[in-house]
Chains A and B, each alone.
Chain A
């Protein structure tokens, strides 16, 4: 398995030192072409049988196992045909060449980057970029793996040998807890999982498929036999013709329940990464052409993947989690803050996407946990608190997030990141410096945020509205102890939900007349004026309802704001 070929081990050093590769120089690529044979992983689109006939001729194909049998599993395994693979002496470092698991050489193959953080809280076990090749079928182009995969030699040889036969691997998967398996087995499973994801995300159906390039097929895989849950996204690189790419996040099966609420977030990150990657691939292809050449290791791309892992780790460490756990952060002083009505109004208008910043961890966390009462389970799982001593930056796609301002009252926040967020953002500044008037700011309205066509001068607008509905709610909550808030707020959200459904029903029945000229102010829009009076709510509440309706039925926001879609 670990066949160390001479030249590739020399390459390995280069891979590991991560040569910065923002600009792919011609010289570098030429050098690569010279001394690097194409990397050794090829996933096979064909069935196992075909593959095994091919494997003799093409050495770098993943070989399919010819089944050596061992009698080491739990139940009695009978040896059918003794095979001469007993020389396990050199097992410490490499598998024998005969023992052919889908062997990506974890040490030295250039397509693997061991860069992902190896943290107990990290749920990502690999990220995989694959491409459909018209001749070779699905190919894994690059895999990003946790840092430690190559240093897990703690297990004894005996243990390793125990799991070298496929049957016993299978047995081990089924009859023992996954975490008890040796790291070698984990590795084998991981390699199989990578192959699986590659061959299932880019296969012939995506070339012959009816889906247009705009409809990026996304998929979620749950494969307990490979100890894998994966989420993938197919994308197209504009210049490379028809061949589709896919990017996938692999997670251990034991993390299935952790991944579930994060699916939307991961989906968004995959989309974002895919856009970046396709750009990167374009720039690479400018230099050396894409066909037949792997993408060079690039610390820039690596860092994107690491960023995603870190974001997910921060959610595991400081995520909001269960509603009842939040109770401890709630404090009555939050409601004493004069900005709270505006904060909630804007929070709901931006569909729960809010940054809370301040100098004090406790203040931030109590505000976050209060705003979290207005969100559903899934959005809560994609939100995080702050912890003193930890320096988090703004992460795209999260719902509620706290930012601790440094001693100068500053925080890094880029306009483009705010614009790139799938939803417009509310920001709540709890620090005294901002003053009460400018404490709440809000991004562009959803429809403008999504279209991005006309960028107005200011991205974050000072927000001064208060919804009467929210005012009434906060007034009631002030009379109640914090542990009673959740029940009242949940009924408030029911009310909002019903209003949103009502709104959808009304616009369905009445239709939305097209706007002749764009009104300057939301209140000038006759449609909205009429809807407000029908639903008996004010403008601020209306936009809360509309944002909620857009969550139920994407596109509703734009429909109401801009008239009919046709």
Chain B
């Protein structure tokens, strides 16, 4: 320490002994925390453990209960202990005003790290009102769980905004509902007050039922009346100024109750759940069959439209926040202007009910909500006595669902489905009095379940075959059958590298320098060859896609796939081709009749490097057979062209047109077009072939494009500053010359 001190003094910095912390400091250095690295393993990204959302209630009977999760299979995931998780987040009363008098509580939000092991949560607590609940409140929470706390901290403000929107819909709807319940109750209490003689038995309404449920003693009517009136005032005043939410709720109630089209089964179940009749029936049945115990309505019944709206918002939350923070949008030509950032965050619209009802995820959630809500409000005693076989039969259901399906998703689907059915099977013992819709629907559901599972088998069989990675076979065939001279070159390279990499794998410690650092074999041959594979595929061109860069998945059938291969195959031509693309020259890819697939794939690989002329995407003529005329050239950026046997490209295009396009023969690697000399594309040299994957290369190409974008931005700014005079002058000032100036000038003309 003396040394460092002296060092500073030498440079003229007085070190003043800080008398406050001098004695503590010594200790401090040793205890100093270094940040917990997120990058602990080379093989797994944090996003492998998906984010999920739990919606939980603090049930007054059972304590914390999870009502449902998004996505729904998480609830049945054995690796995630949902129960202990919600115990942790709901163990302490998070409302600011526990107990005490009735008031409209505001939401409480908490971000907590290390809730369980390596999971962190943003938890949003809110309260619904229910006349039958203790203290008239139903405490609830909805938690966004992630294993990446860095991300969670970053998105905290947005998460909070989003979840406030979620609960707003629920709360407003609930208060409407609550108000509508208080009003008649007040009225009846009033009449009850007026003449004490009228007993409750004389009133044949549901209200008397409710009053009796609420254990209102005749003597306390006045007290109760005033209490209720106070509540009514508070609730009504909280419903002022929420017109926007009310309108959204109307939209949802219209959509959900729309009669004309046959509604899906899940929706029917949901509607049955929220109808007041089902609740009363439920109460009566339980009263007759089981121990008479206070039984609360399920949450959806308290806010039917709000919860549906919230469900769809939760789905969108997972969509917008669930992506890994290491993912990057690739596969398209990036925007090169500086205003890109704020456009992405502001496209959240109000959830549309009609669209939501089309989504299977949403319907699945509705179903889960109905089931979860029933479970939560059912007292545990009740459950044991009424459905003694549930546990065992549930397991059976689970395993039988498991038989056909190997994928995780489908297991959980069938699980939840099985669960329903099981409940349906056992419910009739208590439901047998009623001969209505619900019974029919259970029977129907049982049948459906059988059918469902059958279909599952077939789906699986089908889905398996294309999923089989064809890589292995292809790999052999590449090595074995190389007819074109092209392939033989590849083969040679691969042979060389096979040796290399074998050495590498056997002895990882012998890492000397760059060659061992990198695995060319994988890059080249794990992808398909240019000409193999199915013919029917229509490869996307310039379509954005998103993927975490910490995985080794290949972007198969996404635009930009095989870009690395392109650089290997057309190594000498690549830079010039990209130059042509960036300066707006039409690129014509030619080949004989059998090379159509190859042309398609080169197109797809190159498409992320082509600046689109407008928002309609790229202008591409995928495969043209015939003579090329100037109209084609004017209207397309990329043309695939068939050269019939015994003809050459010179026969298919006029000499004048030929000079305005760049032509690449995909088989002979021959390039006709302008050559590039300059600085901007210098980063795309031989180094490109060192990249290990399409993914990293695409990222790199984006960085190169950003570098060009920086020049472009400077050019535009300079043009604006000197009133658009003399572009050549501006280029000279920015040291942009020759080919680089072509690129900059072209890119500055098109608006994207």
Contacts from A to B (Cβ < 8 Å)? 22, 45, 47-49, 64-65, 67, 69, 75-78, 80, 166-167, 170-171, 174-175, 192, 196, 199-200, 203-205, 209-211, 215-226, 260, 263-264, 271, 275-276, 278-280, 300, 303-304, 307, 409-416, 419-420, 422, 433, 438, 450-452, 455, 457-460, 469, 473, 475-477, 479-481, 484, 486-488, 490-492, 494-495, 498-499, 501-502, 504-514, 516, 526-527, 529-530, 533-536, 552-556, 558-559, 564-565
CB distance from A114 to the nearest CB of B (A): 19
Task: Say whether, besides A223-B96, A457-B3, A170 and B706 are in contact (CB < 8 Å).
Answer: no
Question: Please, which residues of chain A bring their CB within 8 A of the CB of B12?
Answer: 409-410, 433
Contacts from B to A (Cβ < 8 Å)? 1, 3-5, 7-8, 11-16, 18, 20-21, 23-25, 27-29, 31-42, 88, 91-101, 103-114, 116-117, 150, 153, 156-157, 160, 223, 226-227, 229-230, 233-234, 237, 325-326, 328, 336-338, 340-341, 508-509, 511-514, 516-519, 549-550, 552, 682-683, 685, 687, 690-693, 695-696, 699-700, 702-703, 706-707, 709-711, 713-714, 717-718, 720-721, 733-735
Could you give 15 example pairs across A and B, Cβ below 8 Å?
A: A67-B100, A199-B92, A217-B113, A222-B110, A222-B160, A410-B14, A414-B15, A415-B8, A469-B707, A495-B707, A513-B511, A526-B514, A526-B517, A535-B683, A552-B326
Task: Say whether, besides A484-B721, A505-B695, A510 and B21 are in contact (CB < 8 Å).
Answer: no
CB distance from A29 to the nearest CB of B (A): 18
Q: A410-B13, A558-B37 known; 19 other A-B pairs, CB under 8 Å? A: A209-B116, A210-B116, A219-B111, A220-B112, A221-B109, A225-B106, A275-B31, A415-B15, A460-B7, A469-B707, A479-B733, A480-B718, A488-B714, A498-B706, A516-B509, A530-B514, A530-B518, A534-B691, A565-B39
Q: Name the residue on A nearest B327 (C-beta).
A: A501
Q: Which of B37, B227, B552 has the most CB of A within 10 A?
A: B37
Question: Please, which residues of chain A bring their CB within 8 A of the CB of B707?
Answer: 469, 495
CB distance from A469 to the nearest CB of B (A): 8
CB distance from B459 to the nearest CB of A (A): 34
CB distance from A239 to the nearest CB of B (A): 13
Q: How far is the CA of A491 from the CA of B34 in the complex (A)?
A: 32
CB distance from B679 to the nearest CB of A (A): 9
Q: How far is the CA of A504 from the CA of B52 in the complex (A)?
A: 26
CB pair B7 A459 closer than 8 Å: yes
Q: Name the residue on B nearest A473 (C-beta).
A: B710
Task: Pick the residue among B153, B338, B519 that contacts A264 (CB under 8 A).
Answer: B153
Task: Say whether, besides A210-B116, A276-B21, A490-B338, A526 and B110 are in contact (CB < 8 Å).
Answer: no
Question: Please, which residues of chain B bring their CB within 8 A of the CB of A65?
Answer: 100
Question: Please, which residues of chain B bring their CB within 8 A of the CB of A433?
Answer: 12
CB pair B696 A536 closer than 8 Å: no
CB pair A509 B692 closer than 8 Å: yes
Q: Name the residue on A nearest B225 (C-beta).
A: A78
CB pair B326 A415 closer than 8 Å: no
Q: Name the residue on A nearest B35 (C-beta).
A: A554
CB distance from B140 to the nearest CB of A (A): 16
Q: Please report the number of residue pairs spanning A and B whose Cβ atoms sit closer than 8 angstroms.
A: 323
Q: Which of B95, B156, B511 has the most CB of A within 10 A?
A: B511
CB pair B721 A481 closer than 8 Å: yes
CB pair B27 A279 closer than 8 Å: yes
Task: Pick the residue among A76, A481, A494, A554 that contacts B706 (CB under 8 A).
Answer: A494
Task: Pick the residue among A45, A69, A192, A450 that contacts B35 (CB under 8 A).
Answer: A450
Question: Please, which residues of chain A bring their CB within 8 A of the CB of B226?
Answer: 78, 80
Question: Please, which residues of chain A bring their CB within 8 A of the CB of B33?
Answer: 216, 271, 275
Q: Name the residue on B nearest A193 (C-beta).
A: B96
CB distance from A299 to the nearest CB of B (A): 9
Question: Please, which residues of chain B bring their CB within 8 A of the CB of A480?
Answer: 714, 717-718, 721
Q: How far is the CA of A50 from the CA of B42 in the complex (A)?
A: 51
CB pair B107 A555 closer than 8 Å: no
CB pair A22 B23 closer than 8 Å: yes
Task: Say whether, besides A476-B710, A476-B714, A487-B717, A552 and B325 are in contact (CB < 8 Å).
Answer: yes
Q: How far is the CA of A49 from the CA of B114 in the complex (A)?
A: 30
CB pair A529 B514 closer than 8 Å: yes
Question: Please, which residues of chain B bring their CB within 8 A of the CB of A526?
Answer: 511-514, 517
CB pair B710 A457 closer than 8 Å: no
CB pair A419 B706 closer than 8 Å: no
Question: Please, which residues of chain B bring their CB within 8 A of the CB of A217?
Answer: 112-114
Q: Which of A264, A494, A507, A558 has the most CB of B within 10 A?
A: A494
Task: Pick the residue among B106, B513, B735 that contacts A475 (CB under 8 A).
Answer: B735
